[in-house]
Amino acid sequence: MLIPLTRETFQELIPAVATGAQYKYIWGKPPDFLRRMLISAVIVVLLLVVYNLAGSDFAPFVLITGLIAGLYWLWGPVLWASLRNAEFRKFQYCGFWQGRVLDVYITDEVTSQEETVNQKGQLVIVDNLEPRINLEVGDKTGFTTTLRAPLQKNHQGIAVGQAALMLVMSNQEDLGIISKVSDIYIPSRNVWVSDYPYLRRDLFVEISEQIKKGRKKKGGDRDDRTREVKRRREGF
């Protein structure tokens, strides 16, 4: 099932400015925070060098730029998350997609490498591996896609055949060619699979419930019409 959504809904689902979940994701782990702090410190030092060389004429510029750069560790995640969102918001059209889980399997991915020395004094490169879930989903039209994401404990209940929901993006009005897909939601388990939380998940779940209720209502109306026709044919 593929239902086109309005541009307004698209922009609400993937906002221009980072959400709290996106900010938290980009904030990362302690090494990521320390990296941003280092960048802030280096820029501030460079600005101080410029100030000492250029004199007081550049004082306002150095002060304002220094304040901004000094807080990069804080506002940096907002910038990078917003840029990620912009990559999806550039597409003209989007749609609500529902299909099924076709396959699910686990692989290991190299996330970083470390150099160490073994007992023989030889330099050895050690790969740091992270387990990843590979989720393949598809529908009756033959469309399939695979999403790879960090493995979470709540992914254990995902199985072949379960319903899968996501947002799809395209530059074609009829959504004939899918260019990007969002996080995948498994409603029966209330589980999300994603490498980055592109969607406002609360709003997406609300939209999915509205679509589900709308389909049930249409199905009920069809059943009522069928029963009415049958009664007329039977002379009641």
Which is higher by pLDDT, 81 or 56? 81
Which is higher by pLDDT, 70 or 223? 70
What residue numbers bound the domain in which 48 lies? 21-88
Model confidence band, residue 220 (pLDDT cutoffs 50, 70, 90): low
* Among the listed residues 214, 212, 205, the one whose alpha carbon sits nearest the alpha carbon of residue 183: 205
Mean pLDDT of 108-136: 79
Alpha-carbon separation of residue 183 from 66, 100, 113, 203, 215 (angstroms): 37, 14, 28, 13, 23
pLDDT at 170 over 90: yes
Question: Does 151 lie in the same domain as 172?
Answer: yes
3-state secondary structure of 69: helix
On whether residue 226 sits in a domain, the answer given is no
pLDDT at 13 over 90: yes
pLDDT at 20 over 80: yes
On whether residue 132 sits in a domain, the answer given is yes
Of the given ranges (160-169, 188-197, 219-228), which has the lowest mean pLDDT?
219-228
On whether residue 138 sits in a domain, the answer given is yes
80-111: per-residue pLDDT in tens? 999 999 999 999 999 999 999 999 999 988 77
pLDDT at 43 over 50: yes
Question: Does 195 lie in the same domain as 163?
Answer: yes
Model confidence band, residue 235 (pLDDT cutoffs 50, 70, 90): low
Question: Does 6 lie in the same domain as 75?
Answer: no
Q: What was the pLDDT predicted at 86?
A: 95
Q: Which residues contact 72 (CB under 8 A, 6 or more apart)?
A: 36, 39, 40, 43
Of the given ranges (60-69, 83-92, 147-156), which has the lowest mean pLDDT?
60-69
Mean pLDDT of 22-39: 93
pLDDT at 34 over 60: yes
Q: What was the pLDDT predicted at 236?
A: 44
How does the average pLDDT of the chain come out, rounded? Answer: 87
DSSP 3-state percent helix, strand, coil across the chain (nearest 5): 45, 30, 25
On whether residue 223 sits in a domain, the answer given is no
Mean pLDDT of 32-47: 92
CA distance 133 to 76: 28
On whether residue 128 sits in a domain, the answer given is yes
Question: Does 77 lie in the same domain as 172?
Answer: no
Q: What was the pLDDT predicted at 222?
A: 55
